[in-house]
Amino acid sequence: MDKIYAHPGSLRNTTTHYCPGCGHGIAHKLVCQVIDELAIRESVIAIAPVGCAVLAYDYWDFDCTEAAHGRALAVATAIKRVRPQNIVFTYQGDGDLAAIGTNETIHAANRGENLTVIFINNAVYGMTGGQMAPTTLAGQKTATTPLGRDVKIQGYPLKISELLTQLPGVCYVERVSLQSPTEIIKAKKAIKLAFENQINKAGFSLVEVLSPCPTYWGLSPVKSMAWIKDVMSKEFPLGRIK
Amino acid sequence: MAKITIDKEKCKGCFLCVGVCPKARIKAEKTLNKKGVNPVTFEDKGDCLGCSFCAIICPDCCIEVYK
C-alpha cells in the first residue's frame, strides 16, 4: 500500500492552538502542500498576521516573520524588494487585512507588488473574542453586535476582493471556500496559481478563503461548514473575480 | 483496497471527517484521548475508497491515507 495522502513536509507535526473545526488548520495545510509541490520551501518567506494565526510560524517549517497588526503587506513589500529572489507571501485574517490593514492592502495592490496574499475571511475577530469584523454579514450576531449587524449603524460587509479588482496592479483575485472537500481542492488550486503568479513575476495575487469559526459563530464545526455554503457564500460569491 | 490511519492524540474531535466519508466508516470513539475529547476511529470493513475526503477536511492533519 502506498501513502496517497501524507502530512505535508513543511507543516510541523505538532498540535495547533486552534479550536476544533477551525479553518486555519485546513488553510495552513493547503499552503504547505502548495509550497512542497512547487519545491519553494527553501526560498519562501511568510509574513504571519496578528489574529488567530499569529503563531503560524510555530507550525510552518520555513522562514517566517511577524508584522504589526495590519502591516503584513508593508513588511512583505520591503522583504520582496530587498530579496526579489525569495517567494514572499502574507497570510492574513479579515480583521488584519480588511480593517486595520486596509491602507497597506490597497496600496500594496495598487503598486502591483509581486506578492501572494492568503486572505482568511471568517466574518469575525477570532483572537480577541468574536467581535464584529468589516466582513461580518448583515444581521450576524457577534460580541459587539448582539442584536445582529445593523447596516444602518455598522455599514455593509466589506468585499475587499471586489474592491481590489479595480486596481491595474492586481493580477489575480479568487474567492474560495473550505466548506467541503471538493471546495478545498479548488482552494488549493487557487493558492497554487497565486504562488505561480509570483514565480512568473505576474504581480499581486490574492486568494480570499471563506473559513469557518465555529467558536464565535456559535455553531458546531459541521454546521459551520453548512453555514458557509448556505449563507456566507451567498454574500461572498465564490469563484475567480479577476 | 484502501485504509486510513488516524493520530488520535492530535484529534480535537471536530467530526468534520465523519460527515464527509461516503462509506460512513469513521465514528466517534467512546474513550477519551489525553486532550479529554472523543477522537474519531476508523472501522475498516474493507470498503474504504481511498477518496481522501476525510484527510482533506481534517483541520489538524491527523489522517493519512493508504491505497
Please determine, for residue B5, whether its predicted confidence score (pLDDT) is greater than 90.
Answer: yes
Q: What percentage of residues in chain B have a pLDDT greater than 70?
A: 100
- Contact residues, chain A, for B60 at CB < 8 Å: 15-16, 18, 25
Predicted pLDDT of residue A115: 98
**The C-alpha cell that represents B66 in the structure block:** 493508504
User: Does residue A152 sit within a domain?
Assistant: yes
Q: Tell me, what CATH number does A57's domain have?
A: 3.40.50.970
Query: Would you state the pLDDT for residue A125?
Result: 97
Q: What does the pLDDT look like over A47-86, one tens digit per residue?
A: 999 999 999 999 999 999 999 999 999 999 999 999 999 9
Q: What is the CATH number of domain B3-66?
A: 3.30.70.20
B16-48 per-position pLDDT tens digit:
999 999 999 999 999 999 999 999 999 999 999
pLDDT above 90: residue A2:
yes
Whole-number pLDDT of residue A240: 98
Partner residues linked to A124 by β-bridges? A132
How many percent of chain A have pLDDT more than 70? 100
Q: Tell me the per-residue pLDDT of A117-172, one tens digit each, with 9 for 90 and over.
A: 999 999 999 999 999 999 999 999 999 999 999 999 999 999 999 999 999 999 99
Range of the domain at A80: 23-240
pLDDT at A168 (0 to 100) = 96
pLDDT at B1: 85
Alpha-carbon A190 to chain mean position: 12
- Mean pLDDT (chain A) is 97
User: In this complex, is the C-beta atom of A6 within 8 Å of any C-beta atom belonging to chain B?
Assistant: yes
> How large a percentage of chain B has pLDDT more than 90?
99
What CA dihedral angle connects A181, A172, A217 and A220, to 10 degrees? 10
Check if the beta carbon of residue A130 is closer than 8 Å to that of residue A142.
yes
Give a yes or no: residue A217 inside a domain. yes
Domain count, chain A: 1
Residue of B nearest to A186 (CA): B56
**Residue A222: pLDDT above 90?**
yes
Q: Is residue A233 included in any domain, yes or no? A: yes
Does A10 map to a domain?
Answer: no
Nearest-by-Cβ selection for B61 from A2, A19, A29: A29
Query: How far is A235 from chain B, CA to nearest CA, in Å?
Result: 23
Which chain B residues are closer than 8 Å to A181 by Cβ? 20, 51-53, 56-57
Residue B22 touches partner A, C-beta closer than 8 Å:
no
Question: Is residue A139 one of the residues assigned to a domain?
Answer: yes
The mean per-residue pLDDT over the stretch A23-35 comes to 98
The answer on pLDDT for A223 being more than 90 is: yes
Q: Which of B48, B56, B63 to mutate to test the interface with A (most CBs of A within 10 A)?
A: B56
Residue A129 within any structural domain of the chain: yes
Report the pLDDT averaged over residues A27-56.
97
Could you state, in order of their start, the residue ranges of all structural domains in chain B?
Answer: 3-66
Residues of A in contact with B3 (CB under 8 A): 1
ipTM over 0.90: yes
